[in-house]
Amino acid sequence: MRKEDFAEVLGGINENYVKEADTVKKVRKPFGGKWGAAAACLCLMALAVVLLFMQATEAPQDGISPENDACGGPPYIIVNDKTFIISSHLSVTDELPDGFVMAGNINIIGGFKNCPYYLNPDTPEWVYVYHEVRIDGTADSAGTLTSTPPHGAYVRYVDERLRGKDLICYNGNYYISMWSAEYFGDNPDVTREYYDEIDSLYGVRIEGTVPDGFVPAGTAEFTGNDTVPTGPLASNAEASAVYYDPNDPTVVFAETHWFTAAAEENGETRHDGFNVYILYDCPFRTETETIPSLDKNIQ
Amino acid sequence: VDDAGIVQLYWDRDEQAIHATAGKYGNYCTSIAKNILENKEDAEECVNDTYLSAWNSMPPHRPSILSAFLGKITRNLSLNKYRHNTADRRGGREVTVVLDELLDLVSDTDSVEQEIDCQELINTINTFLSTLSAEKRGIFVRRYWYFDSISEIASRFGMTNNNVSVSLNRIRLKLHNYLLDRGFEL
């Protein structure tokens, strides 16, 4: 089908959706809103990382040329039919992490061409790619990245099913934050019914104390950004106190705090509460992958 | 005049219907046409043709959502104009980018093997859209129905340009797989 014909077909979608899309007025989310100051800092850092990489891709050097297929989105690669997107965290290193071995060269969609990439069979959710960056992977306490002259570094790309997902592993079960759980698409994290049920009960975060029946499970061990947490009680988001209901394994709460600075408030207001995590069938729980041959998977 | 009143003016063959439509939905239709054509004169022509088409469509039509009804007419007229202009290399830049994004979903060739049932295809797309959150659906519709730019969508939804692009990439991929699973090899 021609793209123009498909555009014409799309003109026939449900008029309610057309009206719905027009009722969303132009907004600016206030800093310190529902995400809170800490989350906002992380987002800014992540955005800055992406922007810096995008700037880098716009300045090809020494035969490296950019592509524009990502339409301004973060660069990504496809390996073994899986999509890996550049990490939203600081993940630049001068030395290749242990266990990763070169698997060939790859074109980054929205980035450089013909870059060496590295796989580790024990960490199939990550791919490292060596390409030009303009940061050294460090940031100050305010989250400001350290700019550097353009140089080559190993950059982490994360399986799209894991990237941006806040997970907790507790008592053999995996839980995903309501903030990052997706109930739509072909590979939803949870069913819509389940999501809606929990959403109606708690939303994505509660303020104050945990509901009756929830008791402390301990403090989750932080296993690192972009990791699949493993252990008796572990989190890839932060080391925080976790609460569970002995009679209901479907939900756990992770202690958190956030700040708001709305116009009607006198300065910044701290809020204490809990992020809601729901039971999750983690696709990385038992997944094993092998390193592909060098002549394959080159996009 | 509310929408039902405007529609009634059309049914009464009262030319005030055109004035009322232009007053209430002129800017709405113009913004759609401009997104597609990026040429003021062409956009104005399509909006004027929208009023004429609405005049010819009502009766027999009695649209339940007048804005979407008018917008759809403007969109179709503007896309036709775009196709005509493309031959003269006068097409809008943004719509060219938007259409190229649709290459994730279609082969862009004339398929002779498969007879596509367009109504069935629309129904399937509607079902897919119903599975999306309102925000994701809104982003998709703003991009591929209204032909909004990435920055306009980002501004509307309080997102970054990158977030919008990533969301669109993922929705396109999911829609592609969704359609493929249901036998639509486009």
Per-residue pLDDT of A158-172, as tens digits, reads: 998 898 889 999 988
How much is the ipTM here? 0.84
Q: Is the pLDDT of residue A5 over 70?
A: yes
Q: Is the pLDDT of residue A185 over 80?
A: no
Q: State the average pLDDT for chain B.
A: 86
* C-beta contacts of A145-153 below 8 A and 24+ residues apart: A145/A45, A145/A48, A145/A49, A145/A52, A145/A90, A147/A52, A150/A56, A150/A59, A150/A61, A153/A92, A153/A93, A153/A94
Query: What is residue A32's predicted lDDT score, i.e. its pLDDT?
Result: 37
Which residue of chain B is at minimal alpha-carbon distance from A33?
A: B158
Residue A106 or residue B184, greater confidence: A106
Residue bearing the bigger pLDDT, A13 or B159: A13
Contact B160 A74 (CB under 8 A): no
Mean pLDDT of all residues in A124-146: 76
Residue corresponding to tokens 């592509």: A67
Contacts of A15 in chain B (CB under 8 A): 63-65, 68-69, 72
- Between A70 and A98, the more confident residue is A98
Asked if the C-beta of A101 comes within 8 angstroms of chain B's C-beta atoms, the answer is no
**With an 8 Å Cβ cutoff, are B174 and A192 in contact?**
no
| Å between A192 CA and nearest CA of chain B | 8
Q: What is the pLDDT of residue B107?
A: 81
Pair of tokens at residue A34? 């529902």
- C-alpha–C-alpha distance, residues B186 and B172, integer Å: 13
Could A20 and B100 be called an inter-chain contact, meaning their C-beta atoms sit closer than 8 Å?
no
What does the pLDDT look like over A75-101, one tens digit per residue? Answer: 789 998 888 988 877 688 889 999 999
The pTM (predicted TM-score) of the whole model is 0.49
A193 touching B, CB under 8 A? no
- Asked if the C-beta of B150 comes within 8 angstroms of chain A's C-beta atoms, the answer is yes
Neighbouring CB atoms inside 10 A of A95's CB total: 7
Radius of gyration of chain B (CA): 18
Residue A33 pLDDT > 80:
no
